[in-house]
């Protein structure tokens, strides 16, 4: 596939889209959700006359009677859309650091409209070739894990706060993440799971990520509350002084402990005592680790929920109910009754 690189003025792109000669095709796009900050920075790049990455076009349909044809925007949807929103003063575009187009001087408006955009033309190719070209341009869409896709797609407020949580010294101090976790953004996935669970409860695998990342892309008003709650739990766990080889440091078990301790400390105002908590949890964990083949009752339910499909919502809920009971020193019969009542055991 041959490509030809040329330049087009911004005014040419705006006019082509308005006249229907350049067609944004969202099925080829990565559905990148730019934050307000991303859009402002991009527009500032243009206004300061700095370059930005090239966009890709391909030939569309041609009217054989009139000779008029269209082009498809294969890659660059957010860039072109932001340019048009800026030019048209679209209400969805919230400018914070950039002067509105209507307030620019004549020379600044002319410079904006005359800005050269590098365009690479794929020419006349089939739909399948376009999709394959886009796949290779944006390989993250097809080869990366869900969290890596979300990281590529969302860069706003919630994602940045999740990065902040993932970098907390608590995780490094207790060797929670492996080298592979760090390489494949497992730490970011874990931090997002904690935050989203504290906001809305247990969910299924990574299903809750995209909706809240988009919802809190521009602003995350819960950041202060989350920061206080998460730090309170981390400090409490450190005060407990769990042994380095405790089951609590396994990621599935730690997630449950963090969520249920938060519920007790910050939501229900339970007076948890570190020495009582560490004894209760270590006694419970020891029954799982020392007798895995002959377990029954509550330890068996927890063991299976932590081992098989541990990220499924129902298994997260099972572990949560059990650990919540252990933290509150409830009898096993009481915990078992709650599991049965909520249809969490067969």
User: Where does a domain end: 140, 162, 197?
Assistant: 140
Do 182 and 229 sit in the same domain of this protein? yes
Print the domain residue range for 104.
4-140
Confirm whether 192 is domain-assigned: yes
**Which residue reads 């949580």 in tokens?**
165
Give me the half-sphere count of Cα atoms (radius 13 Å) on the Cβ side of residue 228. Answer: 6
Give the Cα separation of 28 and 224 in Å (integer): 38
Q: Is residue 52 part of a domain?
A: yes
Same domain for 109 and 169, yes or no, is no
Same structural domain, 109 and 206: no
**Same domain, yes or no: 50 and 161:** no
Alpha-carbon gap, residue 122 to 136, rounded angstroms: 13
**pLDDT given at position 153:** 59
Mean pLDDT of the chain: 88
Identify the domain boundary among 140, 171, 190: 140
Q: Which pLDDT does position 136 carry in this prediction? A: 66
Pick from 245, 248, 247, 253: nearest CA to 306: 253
| Residue 60 domain flag | yes
Is residue 259, in this structure, part of any structural domain at all?
yes
Residues 153 and 133 in one domain: no
Question: Is residue 111 in some structural domain?
Answer: yes
Question: What is the domain count for the chain?
Answer: 2
- Inter-helix orientation angle 146-153/186-200, to 10°: 80
Assess whether 68 and 195 both reside in one domain.
no
- Other beta carbons within 10 Å of 35: 20
Residues 157 and 121 in one domain: no
Is residue 227 situated within a structural domain? yes
Are 179 and 207 within one domain?
Answer: yes
Q: What is the pLDDT of residue 68?
A: 84
- 243 and 277 in a single domain? The answer is yes
Q: Spell 55-79 as b/e; 16+ CB within 10 A means b.
A: bbbbeeeeeeeeeeeebbbbbbbbb
Q: What is the pLDDT of residues 53-101, one digit of tens each?
A: 888 888 888 878 888 888 888 888 889 999 999 999 999 899 999 999 9
Give the pLDDT confidence of 9-22 residue by residue, as tens digits: 999 999 999 999 99
Say yes or no: 170 and 275 in one domain. Answer: yes
Task: From residue 139, give the alpha-carbon distance in Å to each of 32, 133, 135, 147.
Answer: 14, 10, 5, 14
Overall pTM > 0.75: no
In a domain, 292, yes or no: yes
Percent of the chain with pLDDT over 90: 61
Q: Which phi and psi (to 5°) does residue 3 adopt?
A: -125, 145
55's tokens: 């966009």
Q: pLDDT-based confidence at 143, cuts 50/70/90?
A: very low
C-beta separation of 56 from 133 below 8 A: yes
Mean pLDDT of 238-259: 96
Write down which residue in 87, 122, 140 finishes a domain: 140
Q: Kindly state whether residues 85 and 180 are assigned to the same domain.
A: no
Residue 346 lies in a domain: no
Region of 31 (left: φ > 0; alpha: ψ -120 to 50; beta: rest) is left
Identify whether residues 218 and 314 lie together within a single domain: yes
């Amino acid at each position: 596939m041959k490509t030809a690189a040329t330049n087009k003025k911004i005014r040419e792109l705006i006019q082509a889209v308005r006249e229907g000669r350049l067609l944004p095709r969202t099925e080829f796009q990565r559905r990148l959700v730019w934050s307000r900050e991303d859009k402002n920075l991009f527009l500032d790049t243009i206004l300061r006359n700095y370059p930005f990455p090239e966009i890709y076009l391909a030939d569309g349909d041609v009217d054989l009677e009139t000779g008029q044809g269209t082009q498809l925007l294969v890659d660059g949807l957010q860039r072109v859309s932001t340019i048009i929103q800026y030019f048209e003063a679209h209400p969805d575009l919230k400018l914070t650091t950039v002067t509105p187009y209507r307030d620019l001087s004549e020379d600044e408006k002319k410079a904006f409209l005359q800005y050269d955009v590098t365009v690479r033309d794929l020419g006349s190719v089939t739909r399948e070739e376009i999709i394959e070209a886009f796949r290779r341009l944006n390989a993250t869409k097809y080869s990366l894990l869900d969290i890596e896709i979300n990281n590529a797609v969302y860069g706003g407020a919630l994602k940045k706060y999740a990065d902040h949580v993932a970098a907390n010294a608590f995780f490094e101090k207790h060797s929670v993440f492996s080298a592979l976790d760090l390489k494949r953004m497992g730490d970011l996935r874990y931090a997002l799971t904690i935050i989203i669970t504290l906001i809305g409860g247990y969910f299924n695998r990574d299903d809750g990520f995209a909706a809240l990342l988009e919802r809190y892309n521009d602003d995350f008003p819960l950041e202060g509350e989350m920061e206080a709650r998460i730090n309170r739990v981390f400090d409490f766990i450190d005060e407990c002084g769990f042994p380095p080889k405790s089951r609590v440091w396994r990621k599935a078990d730690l997630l449950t402990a963090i969520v249920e301790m938060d519920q007790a400390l910050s939501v229900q105002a339970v007076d948890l005592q570190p020495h009582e908590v560490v004894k209760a949890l270590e006694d419970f964990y020891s029954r799982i680790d020392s007798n895995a083949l002959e377990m029954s009752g509550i330890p068996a339910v927890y063991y299976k929920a932590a081992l098989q499909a541990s990220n499924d919502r129902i298994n997260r809920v099972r572990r949560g109910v059990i650990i919540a009971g252990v933290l509150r020193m409830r009898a096993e019969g009481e915990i078992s009754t709650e599991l049965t009542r909520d249809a969490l055991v067969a």
